[in-house]
Amino acid sequence: MTNVIEQLGQWAVGRVREMGRMLLFLLSAFAWLVRPPFRFHQFMKQLHFIGYKSVFVVVLTAGFTGMVLALQGYYSLRKFGSEGLLGSAVALSMIRELGPVLAALMVTARAGSAMTAEIGIMRITEQVDALDTMAINPMQYLVAPKLVGGLIGVPLLVALFDVVGIYGGSLVGVDLLGVSEGAYWNSMESAVEWKDVYGGILKSVSFGLIVSWVCCYKGFYTRQSAEGLGRATTEAVVLSSVLILVCDYFLTSVLL
Amino acid sequence: MVNGFESDGDLVPSLPSPIYHKPWALSQMIRLVGVEKKLGGQPVLQGVDLSIPVGKLTTIIGRSGEGKSVLLKRMIGLLQPDRGEVWVGDVEISRLSGTRLNDVRKRFAMLFQGAALFDSLSVFENVAFPLREKLRMKGPGVTKRVEEKLAEVGLAGMGHKFPAELSGGMRKRAGLARALVMEPEIILFDEPTTGLDPLMAKSIHDLIVTMQQRFGFTAIMVSHEIPEIFGISDWVAMLRKGKIALMATATEFQRTTDPEIREFISVGGTVALPGSLAG
C-alpha cells in the first residue's frame, strides 16, 4: 500500500516537474523571440512550412468536413422543415468548432510531428550543441521561429478551413440537395456574429501555440536514441491533440 | 609532474593580452578546479583539476565512459558542473548563462564526434553559417572566406555537396573548416577520428596539427588513437575514475611508471619506456 502511494506521489511530482519545465521552455522561447538578432528569413521559412505546406491537407479536410456536415445537417433540418437554416448550421459549426479544432489537428499531424523529428534529430546528432558552441542560442534560432510560425500559420489555415468548409457545404447543400442558394447564404449572414469569428480566432491562436510549443519541447528534450526520437514524436502528437481538445472545451465554456 | 604547469613554465609560452590579468592566465587558457558532475545519478567527474596551456595541442585520453566528452562539454559550458570552477582566460563560466556565456563561447569552436554538420545545409552553407549568423557577413566576403577554408582542409570544389553525400573523413574535414572559419582562440576536438580508417585518421590528425601550427589556436582533443596521439600532442592528460590521473608532455607521459596507465597506453600500441614519471 505504501509502495503504491509512494509511486503515485513520484508520478505526480514527475508530472508537475514536467509541466514546470514546459512552462519555463515556453517563457524562454518568448524571451529569446523579442531579442535581436531577428531572423526574418527563419520566421518566413517556418511560416511557409507550417502554413503553406499544410494548405493541401487542410483544404482537403475542410472540403469534405463541410460536405458531410451539409449532408447530415440537411436530413436533420428537413425533419423540421428548416432546410433553409443549413447555411447557418454549417457556418457556425465550422467557425466556432470544427475549423479551429480540425485544422489544428491536421497541422499537428503534418507539421507538428515533423517539428519534433527535426529538432530531435538535431539534438541526437549534436547539431543543437553545435549551435550552442557557435554562441547561437538554439531557443532563438530553432524554437522561436517555429512558435511564431504556429501562432500566425494556424489562424490563417483555420480561416482557409472555414471558407473551404462553407463552400463544401454549399456544394452539397445547394448544388446536390437543392437548398436555395439565397437561403443558404442569407441564413449564414444573419446567424454568424462577430463574437463567433472572434472566438474562432482566439481558439486558432491558442491551438497554434499549443502545437508549436509541445512539438518543439518534445523534440528539444528527445532522449539520445532512435527509440527516444520515435517516442518523442508520438508523445508530441498525442499530447498536442489532447491539449487542443481540452483547451477547446474550456475556451468554448468561457466564450459561450 | 602531475597535472600542472607551474614547474614547467618554460614549456608553455605566454600570451600577453589585456584580458589575462590572473597570473596563471598568462600561460593557461582553460583551468578546471575540482569539477564534479553526475549524469543520471552516477558520478562521472569526481573532482577534476586540469589546466590547458595556451597555443598547444592537449589530448585527453581515458577508457570509454570515463567522462572525457563530458569534460570537453564542460569547458565550453554545454553542461553545468555540480561543483567546481571552470575558468576560460579570466572568466569563471560555470555559473554563466545567456549572453554572458555566449560571449565566452565566441572564443571557442568545436569539432564533434560526428562532425554535427547541419544536414539541411550544403557544405558551403555549413561553413558559412557562423559567418552569416554571428558576424552577419554577406556577399563575396563570405564566399572568399569559406572557399579559403574549404581549400585549406582539402575540400575545394565540394561546397555544393550535402553532408549525407560525404564520406566520414570528408564530413570531419567540413566540420574542421566550420570550426576554423571564425578563427577561434580555442578549438575542442571530440574524438575527431572515430570511425575512420587508419589512413584517413592520420590525414585528419595531420590536418589538425597543421592548422594548429598555422593559426596557433589552443587545441584540446579527446582521442583513443594511441599511440598516434603521442606523435602529435604537446600535452597528454589521462582521465581515470573521474579525476586526472596524469598530465604531462607527450614524451614524459610515455615514461610513466603508473602500471595502469602503462597498461592502457601499451595496449594501444605504444612501447612505454621505463622512466621516472609516476601517475
Q: Is the pLDDT of residue A171 over 90?
A: yes
- Cell numbers at A40, concatenated: 526574418
Residue A35 lies in a domain: no
Residue A155 belongs to what domain range?
A: 57-255
Q: Report the residue of chain A nearest B108, measured CA to CA.
A: A133
Classify residue A47: in a domain, yes or no: no
* ipTM score of complex: 0.79
In a domain, A251, yes or no: yes
pLDDT digits (tens, 9 = 90+) for A115-135: 999 999 999 999 999 998 888
Taking the Cβ of residue B162 and every Cβ of chain A, the question of whether any pair is shorter than 8 Å is answered with no
Query: Number of A:B CB contacts under 8 A?
Result: 53
pLDDT for residue B269: 52
d(CA B150, CA A117): 30
Average pLDDT value for residue range B54-70? 89
A126 closest CB neighbour out of B98, B105, B114: B114
Q: Check residue B22 and give its pLDDT.
A: 41
- The dihedral region occupied by B2, where left means phi > 0, alpha psi between -120 and 50, and beta the remainder, is beta
Best of A40, A126, A131, A225 to disrupt the B interface by mutation (most B CBs within 10 Å)? A126
Q: Is residue A52 part of a domain?
A: no
* pLDDT class of B78 with cuts at 50, 70, 90: confident
> Which positions in chain A touch B119 (Cβ < 8 Å)?
121, 125, 127
Shortest distance between the Cα of B180 and any Cα of chain A, in A, equals 11
Residue A5 in domain: no
Cell of B254: 610515455
Q: Is the peptide bond before B163 cis (omega within 30 degrees of 0)?
A: no
Residue A13 lies in a domain: no
Q: Tell me the shortest Cα–Cα distance from A36 to chain B, in angstroms.
A: 11
pLDDT at B268: 59
Task: Tell me whether strands B235-240 and B57-62 are parallel, antiparallel or unpaired.
Answer: parallel
Using the beta-carbon criterion (under 8 Å), do A133 and B134 form an inter-chain contact?
Answer: no
Residues facing B35 on adjacent strands: B48
B217-273 per-position pLDDT tens digit: 999 999 888 888 898 999 999 998 888 888 989 888 888 888 888 888 887 554 444
Number of domains in chain A: 1
Q: How far apart are CA A24 and CA A213, in angstroms?
A: 11
